[in-house]
Every structure is written in structure tokens, then in C-alpha cells.
Amino acid sequence: GMDAYCVSMSNAEGPAMRAVREKMVSTPWADEWESKRTMFSYGEEMSTDPLEAMMLKQFVHMARPKRILEVGMFVGFGAVAMMEGSPSSRVVSLEIDPYLKKWLSDCLQKFPDIAKRHEIEVGPALESLPKLTGQFDMVFVDANKSEYKRYVEVMLERDLIAPGG
């Protein structure tokens, strides 16, 4: 369809994005789940869609946010896309599964310029959000859909969104 065409015509996937995507498709997710290494049964469909990731990368490239909050990381494809979009942007990702923090850290060892701008807070987002300090210029929410409204409420209550963010 149209998404596949747009992705095939784009050159927006940089080297770190490619490394994350290639590791994601080669990870035996069912085995990881059966071995109790992951908290949930995952698959590639859990990741930020390639076209969506390219769009996020472009938004960051245009807006140049200093600090981005990502609620729900999975393998970090979206976070890495956003950091590729601007060499000065920092991303704080909230992720419930500690396995995924290590998975991405291992994947980004060859990309220290990306890794040093990424902070991952492990735990349920509604527990992590109140612990955050400072403000964010951009927020990307892609986590437990039933809690979206509460995520935004907590961000507003805690003044986490910068003016114009």
C-alpha cells in the first residue's frame, strides 16, 4: 500500500535506526518470552511503524526540541529516529520492561553519540512520570492505550510540558 511505497522511497532511516530495526527483526521474541526474559509476549508489530518513525524524525529535525519524552519505548526505534533527527535532542524514554533497556543499550554500543543522549526510566509510566523533573519540548506517547488520558493529566499536573511544547 501507500505506507510501503513511502518507506521504499525514503532515505530517512539512518545507521542507528537500521541497527535497531535489523536487531528487532532478528530477535527470537517468542523464545525470549518462553524463557521468561521479557515481561510480555512481543513481536515486531509492537514497534513504532517505519513510516511513523520517519515522520517523528522529520518533526524533530524541523522543531529541534532540546528534550523529548517518550512514554513507551519497546525496542527504541522511535527514540533513535528522534535522536537521528537532531544531534542536539535528548530523549527520556519510559519503559516498563528492564529487558528492553538492556536490549537497546547493547544495540547502541556502536552509536555512542546516540546512546549518550538517551535516558531510559524502567517501570510503569504512571510511577515514572511523577519522578521526572524539568520540562519537555516534545512528547511521544505510545504505551498502554487505556492510560493515555492519565499520562497527559500527570504531565500537566507536574508541569512537564514546556511552553510551546
Average pLDDT of the residues in 116-135: 97
Does the structure show a pLDDT above 90 at 120?
yes
Does the structure show a pLDDT above 80 at 28?
yes
Quickly state the pLDDT bin for 7 (edges 50, 70, 90). Answer: low
Average pLDDT of the residues in 37-58: 90
DSSP string for the chain: -HHHHHHHH-----HHHHHHHHHHHHS-HHHHHHTT-SSS---GGGSPPHHHHHHHHHHHHHH--SEEEEE--TTSHHHHHHHHH-TT-EEEEEES-HHHHHHHHHHGGG-HHHHTTEEEEES-HHHHGGG--S-BSEEEE-S-GGGHHHHHHHHHHTT-BPTT-
96: nearest Cα among 75, 119, 125: 125
Separation CA 162–CA 153 (nearest Å)? 15
pLDDT over 70 for what percent of the chain?
A: 96
pLDDT of the residue at 45: 87
